[in-house]
Amino acid sequence: RIVYVNGDFVPEEEASVSVFDRGFLFADAVYEVTSVLDGKLIDFDGHCARLDRSLSELGMSMPMDRDAFLEAHRELVARNDIGDGLIYLQVTRGAADRDFHYPADATQTVVMFTQAKPGLAENPQAQTGIKVISIPDLRWDRCDIKTTQLLYASMGKMKARAEGADDAWMVDDGKVTEGTSNNAYIVKDGTIVTRQLGNEILPGITRTAVLRFAREAQMKVEERAFTLEEARTADEAFVTSASSFVMPVVEIDGARVGAGAPGPIAKRLRDIYIEEMRRAAS
C-alpha cells in the first residue's frame, strides 16, 4: 500500500511518525473517513468542511486547503488502484516534548491511507441488517468533534461481538445518543426520528445527506432524542455512516425491531443515498 505522510507518498513500510507525536500521546488529533465508489470520492466537501470545524474547535487550522486535500485523496486512490473503499485522513497537532499544554510551534502531522473494500455498496449485511446492543454513553461531552479518542467505541464493539451482536448504541439519560461509529435512527408510523445535533453526537456527513434525501422524498423527519424503549417498539431502525451508508438494524438487545428484517424506509433511503451520491461523487 502507498500511504501519504506529510507531503510524501511512500510504501507503508517506509512511513513514519515521531514517538512524540501528540496524536499518539494525547489523541490530540482529528480524522475523517471518506468512502470511494468507482474510484470517486463520496461527499468529499462535506468531510472537508467537518475536518475544518473539528480542527478549529481544538485551536488548529487546516494544514492544506480543500483543493490540495482533494488532489492528495485522488492521488492515493489512483496509486492504490482503489475502485471501492475508504480513505482515512488524520491530522494531529504534531510532535513536541510531552506536555499537556499545546506546544506553540509544532508542525501538524498529516497522514492518509486507503482501505480497499470491493463491493462496498453491495454489502450483503444490508440485506439482513445488523444487531445492536445498548451500552451507557460514557464518552466525554464533545462528541461533536471527530477526535481519534476511540477507545470507548472499540470497547463497545468488543462487548457487542462478545454478545453475538454487530454494534452498540449508546444511551445517555435513557435516550439513545448514537452508535459507536454511526448515527442512530428509528422509524415509527412513517416518521424518521434521529437525535438532534449537539455536543453529544457527531454531526454525521451521511446523516446530513440522508435527512435531505428523506425530506426531498416527502418523508417525515423529526430531529429529537428518542428512548431505548421507543427504539425497541419502533417499526424500523437503522444507522448511517460514511462506510456503511444506510444500514438497517433488526435487533436491539436481543429483541426484534418491527418484523426483524430490514424495513422499507431504510432500504429506500439506502438506495437513494447510494444512487445520488454516486452521481455527485468527485
Q: Which of the residues are catalytic?
A: 146
Supply the minimum distance, in Å, between the C-beta of residue 97 and ligand PLP.
31
Q: Which is nearer to ligand PLP, 2 or 130 (CB)?
A: 130
- CA-closest candidate to residue 266, choices 150, 126, 143, 94: 126
Query: Is residue 157 at the binding interface for ligand PLP, with CB under 6 A as the rule?
Result: no
Q: Is 104 exposed, middle or buried (0-12, 13-18, 19+ CB in 10 A)?
A: exposed
**What does each C-alpha distance from 191 to 27, 214, 272 come to in angstroms?**
38, 10, 17
Contact window for ligand PLP (CB under 6 A) among 3-11, 83-91, 203-211, 251-259: 203-211
**What does each C-alpha distance from 88 to 5, 110, 161, 230, 246 come to in angstroms?**
12, 11, 24, 34, 19
- Which member of 90, 108, 181, 194 binds ligand PLP (CB under 6 A)? 181
254 alpha carbon, distance to own chain's centre = 25
> Which residues ranging from 24 to 43 are in contact with ligand PLP (CB under 6 A)?
33
β-strands 167-172, 255-256 pairing: unpaired
Alpha carbons 244 and 201: distance in angstroms, whole number: 17
Supply the minimum distance, in Å, between the C-beta of residue 182 and ligand PLP.
5
- Which member of 86, 176, 202, 257 binds ligand PLP (CB under 6 A)? 202
Q: Which is nearer to ligand PLP, 72 or 86 (CB)?
A: 86
DSSP secondary structure letter of residue 182: B
Alpha carbons 123 and 38: distance in angstroms, whole number: 15
- Which member of 92, 108, 114, 182 binds ligand PLP (CB under 6 A)? 182
Question: How does 211-242 read in b/e, with b if 16+ C-beta sit within 10 Å?
Answer: bebbeeeebeeeeebbeeebbbebbbbbbbbb
Place of cell 438532534: 196
Contact window for ligand PLP (CB under 6 A) among 60-68, 120-128, 198-206, 261-269: 198-206
Q: Which is nearer to ligand PLP, 77 or 176 (CB)?
A: 176
- CA-closest candidate to residue 184, choices 127, 234, 148, 115: 234
Query: Is residue 187 at the binding interface for ligand PLP, with CB under 6 A as the rule?
Result: no
- Which member of 111, 183, 195, 262 binds ligand PLP (CB under 6 A)? 183
- Which member of 28, 178, 200, 236 binds ligand PLP (CB under 6 A)? 178
Residue window 235-274: x/- pattern of binding to ligand PLP, with contact defined by CB under 6 A:
-----xxx--------------------------------
Interacting residues with ligand PLP (CB under 6 A):
33, 178, 181-183, 202, 204-207, 240-242
